[in-house]
Structure 1
Amino acid sequence: MKKWFKQSVMITVAFLTLGMITPMHEIWNNFGETGSSNSQAASPEIAYAAPLEVTEQVVEEEKSLTEVAREQAYTKFGTRIAPKISEDFDTYIFPKIEEAIAMHCADLDNLTITENPSGGYAEKMFHIQHDASDVIRFHVRTENRPHDGFYYNFHYHVAADNFDTHHDLGEIYWSKNQPPKWLS
């Protein structure tokens, strides 16, 4: 019965936390011990280890959000555009994207990033959503300036102003020749 109970508790914890918190092995090693000096000595370590593990998972979630954002941007660029603008994007644009995410999503949890950026000449890179509604929309627009050439204008829109205002992140120069379509 002890084994059945352990398994049911483990399954319940995994189900309720959606797999975010996994039971530590020290808990299961000391589960059946009562009144022994080993279980009393181990319990303070377990009490301090659990919050530390949760903190590391929260940091990993933040990293994964920005990593997914970067991956979606590079998916949008495709193999023809990415090599030419990647250095400027990583140096100037992406840190501003990280700042915008931190500023507008700091108090929110359960954030998701839309997949499948738009191709052709459409603007959408990715959107960050909270409870299936957009919070921030990150876009890149191709601009043709006479006598100057083509530029990529990176900007975002926020739900707070009904996505009306362009919040500039920066621009990257392409060349005087027309750039390829996105996702190519």
Structure 2
Amino acid sequence: MKLWFKKISIVMITFITLGMFIPPTYLDTNADGAKGLDDSDSDPDLSSVSDGEGDLDDLELNEDDLTIDDDLTDGESLDEVIERITEEAREHTLKKLGPKIARQVEDDVLSAILPNIEEVLNTLVEQAGDSSYQNFVVAEEPSGGYGERIFNIHDSEANEDVAKFHVRRDNRPKNGYWFNFHYHLSSDGFEEHHELGEVYWDKNTPPKWMS
């Protein structure tokens, strides 16, 4: 009985001892595995894959931006062209007057002349047809001194003037000086004077343009 119990005790002790024993090779294997996981975190190849995913996201965003830019660069609408050249025409007209003349007649020019200029510009754009009106630009600077030019409407695609807007000084005996605003069209070789209106200055000689 004691011998049998002794054998059983030896077997149990051996089993417990083997269960708690971890071979050195197993420990080395686990250590290498853990090191491999740590190395993968700092592996430049793996990092580049992660960074590459970020670059793809950025690329998609840039492509969207390009799409928006393409939309913005589409041709101007008829109303946008009219608004653009009308604003530039107004700036050129006031620049033509110059400070000395503008102080006296600016209000008259803005109320009596500019609306007629805008009406002519609207007609020119509407008659252009298709999308050629998108090529219309306000060209040429106003001439100083005693020159008549205010501005030209130029077709940048055809490289030719469509209309020329001028102002002339008229000295009428006993009636003083008047500013005669008019325009010329390419359709008649710029020969005809198409009236825009007149603004009275004074009986005294007006200053030079743009002075």
TM-score range, shorter chain: 0.7 to 0.9
Q: Give 1:13 shift.
A: 5.5
* Corresponding residue of 1:4: 59
Q: Answer with 152-161 or 129-138: which moved more.
A: 129-138
Instruction: After TM superposition, give the deviation of residue 58 of structure 1 in Å.
Output: 5.4
Compared CA separation, residues 6 and 61, structure 1 to 2 (3 A):
farther
Q: Please state if 1:87 is matched with 2:107.
A: yes
Partner of 1:101: 121
Which residue of 1 is the match for residue 179 of structure 2? 152
Query: What is the rounded CA distance, in whole Å, between the counterparts of 1:178 and 1:86 in structure 2?
Result: 17
Give % identity.
39
Q: Distance in 2 between matches of 1:10 and 1:159?
A: 42
Distance in structure 2 (CA, Å) of the matches to 1:13 and 1:142: 50
Gaps of 5+ in 2: 1-55
Give the aligned partner of residue 21 of structure 2: none
Q: Deviations over 1:86-106 (max 9, x none)?
A: 111111111111111111221
Distance 2:108 2:81 in 1: 26
Deviations 1:131-184 (A, max 9, x none): 232111100011111221111000000111111100011111111111000010
- Partners of 1:58 and 1:161 lie apart in 2 by 25
> 2:152·2:163 contact (CA, 8 Å) conserved in 1?
yes
TM-score (norm 2): 0.64
Structure 1 residue 111, shift from structure 2 partner: 1.4
Secondary structure of the equivalent of 1:109?
helix
1:79, distance to aligned residue in structure 2 (A): 0.3
Q: Letter of the aligned partner of 2:183 in structure 1?
A: Y
Instruction: Find the counterpart in structure 2 of residue 124 from structure 1.
Output: 149
Correspondent of 2:202 among 146, 161, 175: 175
Instruction: State whether residues 72 and 125 of structure 1, in contact with CA within 8 Å, keep that contact through their aligned partners in structure 2.
Output: yes
RMSD, aligned α-carbons: 2.2
SS in structure 2 at match of 1:77: helix
Question: Residue by residue, what CA displacement relative to the aligned partner does 1:111-135 show, whole Å, maximum 9, x if unpaired?
Answer: 1102421000000001111123211
Indicate yes or no: 2:158 matched with 1:166.
Answer: no
Q: Which runs of 5+ in 1 are unaligned?
A: 22-53
Aligned-pair CA distance for 1:8? 4.0
Q: Is the 8 A contact 1:72 1:115 kept in 2?
A: no
Tell me, what secondary structure is at the counterpart of 2:122? helix
Contact 2:78–2:125 (Cα < 8 Å) also in 1: no
| 1:69 aligned residue (66, 84, 89) | 89
Q: Among 51, 73, 78, which residue is 2:98 paired with? A: 78
Whichever of the two has the greater Rg, that structure is 2
Distance 2:187 2:119 in 1: 17
CA contact (8 A) 2:154 2:160 kept: yes
Maintained 8 Å contact 2:81/2:134: no
| Larger proportion of helix | 2
For 1:104 and 1:139, locate their aligned partners in 2 and report how far apart those are by CA, in whole Å: 16
After TM superposition, give the deviation of residue 64 of structure 1 in Å. 2.4
Match of 1:119, SS state, is coil
